[in-house]
Amino acid sequence: MKKLILLTACLMLGLMVFAQGVDFQHLTLDEALAKAKAEKKLVFVDCYTTWCGPCKMMTTKIFPMKEAGDFFNPRFVCVKFDMEQGEGVELKKKWNVRAYPSFFIIRPDGTIQHKIVGGGELEPFIERVEKGLNEKTSLLYLDQQYEKGKMNKKQLLVYKEVLDDAYDQKKAEEVKKELMAQLTEKDKLKKDFWPIFEDRDCVVGSADFDLILDNLSTFEKNIGKERLDEYLFNAYSRALTPYVSGNKKQQQSAVALADLRQQIEKLNISKKDNLLETCALAELVEKGDVEKLLSDLEKSVETLSADDFFNKVMAFSAMEEKVSKADYSRMAALGEKMLANPNMGEMKAFLEYYLDTWKMKAHVGVYFEDLTFEQALAKAAKLRKQIFIDCYTSWCGPCKYMTNTIFPQEEVGDFMNPKFICVKYDMEKGEGPELAEKFGIRAYPTFVILNADGSMRHKFVGGGEADYFMERVEEAADDDKAFGLLDAKYAEGVRDKDFLVKYIKGLESVYSSDMGKVAAELYQQLSDEEKVSKEYWFLFRNEDLSPMGSEPYQYLLANREKFVQNNTKEAVESRLVSGYQRKLNMILYGRDEKTTAADLDQMKKEISALKLGNEKSLLAQLNIVKAYLSKNPNQLLIVCEREANNISLQEFPLMLVANAKKTATPLQLNRWKKLCQKLLTNCPDKEMASKFEVYINSLFE
């Protein structure tokens, strides 16, 4: 037992010896307050969120440092709360936390003694915390003294700094006005009041900054040349930034670029040459001299620091309106060289982003990237861009047309590239089949647009010319047309008529197998008056929505005259004819092996009963299909010859000629030729006949 106790004690001592960093304890606020009271300490609270970058920096880099632990652990009971979870949600409201990270120093009785917003390097951060530890410089004490009206000029200055630290900008501005009203010019020259010049309001061109320029020797004596030089360098760097970045709005309220150069030339500071180089860069932006910027970069890229390079990147971006694709190509080449520079450090991630953008903008046509689907998703999430996917096959003619003719067009690329991460996958290779199943791809080409989180925004089928293609892409921005959005709403249970109309049309556009099921849902909601109206004719017009034998189709037959009144006779008859034609074509193309000659006889009776305007042509097609089912080549030829006067060229199934050619005798082949010639002669549209003639001639070569 003694050995066990000794071992435990050694382990605890070892943990104490080797423990480093701030000891954040898993306690509720009440538990932390009670422990602080027992240990005669204060409570230090870190208020953070999971998405906050500075919060992560403090957690991973600053608080784990031994020096941080040496300072915080003896003085505080340290706890941390996520402001979006658990107890943190209530504390956020109670303490009015508006920015992250926020830190509080709290007395054991729950009184807030001090507040700090924002992190930073350890040493200056500890200095800010020490103000909160010192009662006379804590926020609580200074608040109380200010309310009593018992503050001198130095206390007002400290109070303003503490308010700045607490992110109470409104109160800080109020205190600053009171302080400035009390300060004389002689006061401002003193070292004690130098912090007022480090305020964000003291910018080049302001009265206070002019005071510094008029008294440089005095300030150099009071605060030291090194500190003054650094201050002037930073002030002029900030003043030049709007000119380098091309920020017209900030330039309007700033000192003119020529005046900035004159002031800088009069300075005697260590980094004067750096400022003059920045001036020269700003002057290039003002002139829009992209060529000079790129030439200078190409000469110096091997020796540039990361900071200098990104200054030039800022200038390049500012001249974007004058940058050509060739310029972007040159910039991309320079970026590749800088990327190889081992001194890029944390700037490397920024450069990779810019480099990708330059390559994209240098590209003529749509910039398809060679990424796996997972890589595309990761990149989209990082850049918060949508993904455009070209789903194609190697044998698809329209796919090839889009690849060879539409996507290489500069206009299409300039439209697509800024909006999307563009990728393309062969649906029959690699990860293509899995993606085809995932996105329900049933025709080619299909184009899919995904949101940055990978959810589907839009999907559409078929190519076309550039303007039409871009119009289809723009549908993704329309909530009434974006297929993915409609699909999600349907899955959520939305079933009102207006929505179902939009959804069915979306399903039609992508040849979805679900369109019939959804159409049936809409049909059941319609009144008799709505069913025969023009508004809902689309339900009956499309054979996929109301196939032969279905309830909607039977309703169409039973109410044919009402449909004619609200639409046109031609439209209704065309729909009825197309249904039979589709059935006959399915037999010819081997997609219907169940229909028999007896079924066709029954179909013939149905057609005759309908008394359609082109009944003769439809019956001719039916007779040809019936002869085809007989599997007697000569009988088929005889029927085709007999029906040639009753059927149009475009309605005649020329695939029968292609099939017959394989086994036909020379005499039969000659009869087929004469039959085709007769069809061409009977065709009233000579332009169409000419096009068919080319195909027919190829059949007999």
Query: Could you tell me which residue, 689 or 390, shows the higher pLDDT?
Result: 390
pLDDT, residue 117, reads 97
pLDDT in tens, 363-420: 999 999 999 999 999 999 988 999 999 999 999 999 999 999 999 999 999 999 999 9
> Distance between the two ends of the chain, CA-based, in angstroms?
103
**For range 255-265, the mean pLDDT:** 94
Cα-based distances in Å from 105 to 21, 69, 142, 366:
18, 16, 15, 56
pLDDT, residue 135, reads 87
Residue among 25, 120, 6, 14 nearest 72 (CA): 25
Residue 242 has which token pair? Answer: 């709007």
**For range 280-304, the mean pLDDT:** 94
Using pLDDT thresholds of 50, 70 and 90, give the confidence band for residue 17.
Answer: very low
Residue among 520, 471, 526 nearest 498 (CA): 526
Cβ contacts of 669-674, under 8 Å, gap ≥ 24 = 669/700, 671/637, 671/641, 672/637, 673/700
Three-class DSSP category at 260:
helix
Q: Alpha-carbon distance 20 to 694, whole Å?
A: 86
Burial (0-12, 13-18, 19+ Cβ within 10 Å), 145 = middle
pLDDT, residue 11, reads 41
Residue among 523, 482, 528, 524 nearest 505 (CA): 482
10 Å Cβ neighbour count for 434?
Answer: 12
Task: Quote the mean pLDDT of the chain.
Answer: 92
Query: Could you tell me which residue, 69 or 9, shows the higher pLDDT?
Result: 69
Q: Alpha-carbon distance 27 to 106, whole Å?
A: 14
pLDDT in tens, 173-230: 999 999 999 999 999 999 999 999 988 788 999 999 999 999 999 999 999 999 999 9
CA 683 distance to own-chain centroid: 53
Give the up-direction half-sphere exposure of residue 601: CA atoms within 13 A in the CB hemisphere: 3
pLDDT, residue 416, reads 97
Q: Alpha-carbon distance 95 to 166, whole Å?
A: 12
CA dihedral 540, 541, 543, 545 (to 10 degrees): -50
Residue among 279, 222, 282, 271 nearest 246 (CA): 282
Asked if residue 457 lies in contact with residue 411, where contact means CB atoms within 8 angstroms, the answer is no
Q: Alpha-carbon distance 116 to 87, whole Å?
A: 20
Asked if residue 449 lies in contact with residue 388, where contact means CB atoms within 8 angstroms, the answer is yes
Three-class DSSP category at 117:
strand
> What Rg value do the Cα atoms of the chain yield, rounded?
40
Burial (0-12, 13-18, 19+ Cβ within 10 Å), 202 = middle
pLDDT, residue 5, reads 44
Residue 14 has pLDDT above 80, yes or no: no
Using pLDDT thresholds of 50, 70 and 90, give the confidence band for residue 166.
Answer: very high
**For range 604-622, the mean pLDDT:** 93
The crossing angle, in degrees rounded to 10, of helices 257-266 and 225-245 is 160
**For range 663-681, the mean pLDDT:** 93
Helix/strand number for the chain, H first, E second? 39, 8
Q: Alpha-carbon distance 424 to 447, whole Å?
A: 9
Asked if residue 62 lies in contact with residue 56, where contact means CB atoms within 8 angstroms, the answer is no
pLDDT in tens, 459-473: 999 989 999 999 999
pLDDT, residue 698, reads 87
pLDDT, residue 353, reads 87
pLDDT, residue 16, reads 41
Which residue type sits at 335?
G
Residue 251 has pLDDT above 90, yes or no: no
**For range 151-161, the mean pLDDT:** 94
Q: How many residues does the chain have?
A: 701
Global pTM reads 0.67
Determine how β-strand 386-392 pairs with β-strand 420-426. parallel
pLDDT, residue 171, reads 95
The crossing angle, in degrees rounded to 10, of helices 225-245 and 272-287 is 10
Place of tokens 């729909």: 575
Q: Alpha-carbon distance 58 to 128, whole Å?
A: 14
10 Å Cβ neighbour count for 18?
Answer: 7
Burial (0-12, 13-18, 19+ Cβ within 10 Å), 71 = middle
Using pLDDT thresholds of 50, 70 and 90, give the confidence band for residue 2.
Answer: very low
Q: Which helix (H) or strand (E) holds 46?
A: strand 42-48
Which residue type sits at 184?
T
pLDDT, residue 663, reads 87
Q: Which helix (H) or strand (E) holds 143?
A: helix 139-148
Residue 6 has pLDDT above 90, yes or no: no
